[in-house]
Structures are given as C-alpha cells and as structure tokens.
Amino acid sequence: MKRRRTIHRWAPLACAAALSTLLGGGRADADPRRGSEAERLHHAGVRCMDVIERNACAITNFEALLEVETRERELVTDAMLRLIKLYRDEGRSDDVGGLLRLFWDVGMKHDAQGHVPWSTRFIPTELDMLMALNVEQMSGSAVIKALHPDARDSMLTCDKARRKTIESRQEIRRARRKASKDGRELWDVVQADREKQAERQSKRTESRASGDEGPIFSEAICPIMRTLGKTDLLAMRRLMGASNHHDSRRSVAIAEIPGLDALLAQAETSGRITRVATDHYTVPEVEYAGGPVHLLKLDSEELTMVPAGLVDGMLAARGKRGRRMNRELNGLVGKVPKDSGFFFVMTQAAMREMGFSGVKRSTRGFIEAMLPKPKGLQVAAMFGAELGLFTRLPTDTPGKGRMLVGLANVFLAKASEDDAEAERWLEGLDIAESNDRSAILASYLISPQRLEKLMME
C-alpha cells in the first residue's frame, strides 16, 4: 500500500515504534485477514485504547494509520481524534496542534460526494450559503450522548411542550446565576428577564411581518416534521439548508427521511398536506414568506422544502436533470471532508459583503487592503468523544494570512495570561496556516462538559 511522505515532525516515529515493539508495546494483534491496512491499524489501535488500555500501543497504531494513503476517511478522522486524547493523557499537548491541521490536508485529497442529498444539485444558482447536518452521526456520537437530556433535546426536539420545558429550566438557571452574582431576589430577576424576552419576541414578530424572516431551514423544519407526524429530527438521516446572503427567504431545505412515501401518504390522507401534482404538495397550515410551504420529492426518500417563488425553477431543473447549483458553492462543498458531521460554506462574495455590512466604504477599503483576501469560508464539525470544529479560510494572499495568524496567536496568548477563565476556554484552540499556505486554519476541540455548559447556560 502506497504511503504518503511523512511530515518531518513524525521522523522519530520509526525508532519509537521499533523500541515500543521490543518492549511489548507495539501494534496489537491485528488479524491480517481483517480488511485493508487502514482497517487493521484502526482495529488494533481501538483494541489497545479501549480493551487492553495501553496508550503506547494505541498511539503507535494510530500514528501508523495517519501515514497510510487511504480513501477510508472515517478511520483516519477517528484515529486523529483519538490521538488527540491520547497525546493529552500522555502530556504531549504540543503535538495536538499538528494533528488538528491535518484535518483538511487528509480530507481534501478527493472531492467529496454523497455528504449532501442528491437533490442539492437542483438548488438555484443565487443561493450562496449552505449548511449540512448528518443527524445520524451527531445523535449517535459519544459527545452528544454524554450531554444532559435537556441539552441534547434542545438541538433535536420539535415537540412544543418539551421545548417549553427546556426553555423554562434554562430561564431559572440563568436567573439563579444572576441573582447570586448581583445579590437580587430570584423572582425579580426572572420577571426582568421575561420582560426583555417579550420585547425581543415583539421585535422578531415585527421583522417577520416586514419580510425579514430567517431561512426556511430554520423557520419551517420543525413545523414540517410535525406535519409528517414526527416530534424530533431523529426521523431524518441528513439535513441540508441553503440560502442567499441578501435575502434569506430565497432558501431551501432538503431532508433525507426513511419511509418518506408512507409519511406523505398518511399526511395527505389526514389533510395535513395537499397534493398539487405527483411528488408535489403544499402545507396549508405552515406559512413561509407570505405563502404555504411547498414540499417536493425530487429523489427517493428526499423531501425538499421550498417557498413558492423557487418551486418552478427546481421542478424544471429536475425534469431536465440539469445542475443549477452555484459553481463556486459546489466547489467549496466538494472540498469539505465527506465524513463531517456538520459543515457550513459560503462563497467569496457572500462572505465579503456580509463581513463588511454597515462599514463605510473608505474604512472597508483600508481593512480589505490589510487583511488576506478570502476565497470563501468552510467550517466543518466532527462528532466523536469530543466535538471538533475546523474552520478553513482559503486565500490567495498568503503573506497577509501569515501576518493575521501571528497577530491572532499573540492576542490569544495575552488573553490567556490575563484571564484564567479565558485560558480554560481557549485551551484546544489552534490557529495556523495550512501546510501549502493556501488557507488560514482555526481548529477547536470542545469536551462534552464544555459543550453542555455552553448549551445549558
């Protein structure tokens, strides 16, 4: 099996592996009949780590796996995340940053396919931001299973009563912290917070009435799932949402839902949806952008949710089997590692305009001259024992990128020195250039405990 050129920092591994083997800490018993070399190394590393609990043995196997040229990306990513934990356990924190930077190097070797629904190719060209969530990976991961049920359900539930319970508990927790900190009565704090919440809700209602709505994948997903008789997002395998950065109402959502035909038939029979044509329905009781939400089945077990203004174009593209997706957006999606549990991408134009929204033209010109020129944005998340967040900012001005990375690291170091709490939160954050200097990378690991604190508080 062909191997990649080893990065110079792994140079001592050969000697270490040989010594470890002589001392009985080498690769665990790996059945030579068990699949590919990558599979054998992964199996051996997992056995060392989880069964016989020998860190040196696990590290040797996982490091060897990272050197193998393989398309089995899921094994490589799992090995990377496990190595990070092992390095920390062994006091090798300085090696963690290098591993985090390998995420994009390993994942971008081949264009990713199949990590968004097939129907995504029919979305309008004007949509320049896209997110995708692998619900199965997220919900089945150790980091999500370790969360308090309230934190976990806050991401997944569409049950109105359950969400109300979660929000009420969060309200009391926040009020207790404020009351303790400020020396106030608990219910005085609760009342003040409820008044602020009512004011915010009133502003959101006014915004929606004036046409300033969020994208359809944030506004209509749960109402549609309830229409299909489901109370959470676990009924779907994968969810994709795309929108235009100028007008979020120009947006679509696509969900992969097992048993979709039966769910649509039941909803139609009960009158919750109305058939317009074959594989085309409206949802009378769910309004979005001034009209009913349209449901299209453009492929098996894929449900596309779309406002009325985008229906005809998507149906025409499906009839011709012609790709309409923005080419730049498609290129960014294709370079996101296919095993990402979640990812978000936006085009260069969308990022530039949103990043400088409201900035004076003269000020904007000065800032743009100083900063690296971004060629879009890619953010990916991996759900494992921890949540790994990986951001990539491709650029064609590497000199400015190097300067920005240096300034960011100086700032982070200063923040950690001045604030012990900031130091705890910044631990696990790595900012660096990519190995080919074509992008700025930021990586961050979040433990279940930190994630729960973020979500619950």
DSSP 296-339: EEEETTEEEEE-GGGHHHHHHHHHHT---S-HHHHHHHHTS-TT
Q: Is the CB of residue 143 less than 8 Å from the CB of residue 137?
A: no
According to the model, what pLDDT value does residue 9 have? 39
The separation between CA 421 and the C-alpha centre of its own chain, rounded to angstroms, equals 25
Note the pLDDT of residue 24.
35
pLDDT of residue 450: 84
Q: For residue 34, give the DSSP letter.
A: S
Where do the domains of the chain lie?
8-107, 151-209, 347-457
Question: Residue 25 is which amino acid?
Answer: G
Q: How many CA atoms lie within 13 A of 11 on its CB side?
A: 2
**Alpha helices in 348-397, H assignment, sequence order:** 348-355, 361-370
Contact present, 90 and 114 (Cβ < 8 Å): no
**What is the token pair recorded at 100?**
């985090």
For the stretch 304-343, pLDDT in tens is: 999 999 999 999 988 887 778 999 999 999 888 888 899 9
Calculate helix-pair angle for 55-66, 13-22, nearest 10 degrees.
140
Distances (CA, A) of 11 to 2, 6, 15, 63, 64: 18, 7, 9, 11, 12
Segments in the chain below pLDDT 70: 1-34, 106-113, 204-212, 355-373, 397-428, 457
pTM of the complete model: 0.79
The whole-number pLDDT of residue 415 equals 54
DSSP state of 157: B
The C-alpha atoms of residue 94 and residue 88 are separated, in whole angstroms, by 9
d(CA 155, CA 161): 15
Measure the CA–CA gap between 72 and 39, rounded to whole angstroms: 8
Q: Which among 109, 60, 103, 61 is positioned nearest to 81, based on CA atoms? A: 103
DSSP 8-state class, residue 112: -
Looking at residue 51, its pLDDT comes to 86
Calpha distance 194→424 (Å, rounded): 31
Residues facing 388 on adjacent strands: 382, 445
From residue 282, how far is each of 233, 235, 275, 305 by CA, in Å?
Answer: 20, 20, 7, 9
Residues 6+ apart with CB under 8 A from 441: 100, 101, 104, 390, 391, 392, 393, 430, 431, 432, 433, 434
Distance CA 249, CA 207 (A): 12
Amino acid identity of residue 345, one-letter, is V
How many residues are given for the chain?
Answer: 457
| SS3 readout for 175-238 | HHHHHHHHCCCHHHHHHHHHHHHHHHHHHHHHHHHCCCCCCHHHHCHHHHHHHCCCCEHHHCCE
* Residue 20, C-beta contacts closer than 8 angstroms, at least 6 positions apart: 26, 56, 57, 60
Cβ-contact 41, 65 below 8 angstroms: yes
Most distant CA pair in the chain: distance in Å?
73
- The pLDDT value given to residue 1: 41
Distance of CA 409 to the CA centre of its chain: 24
Q: Which DSSP letter does residue 393 get?
A: E
Please count the other Cβ atoms lying within 10 Å of the Cβ belonging to residue 395.
Answer: 23
**Tens-digit pLDDT profile for residues 104-125:** 776 555 566 678 999 999 999 9
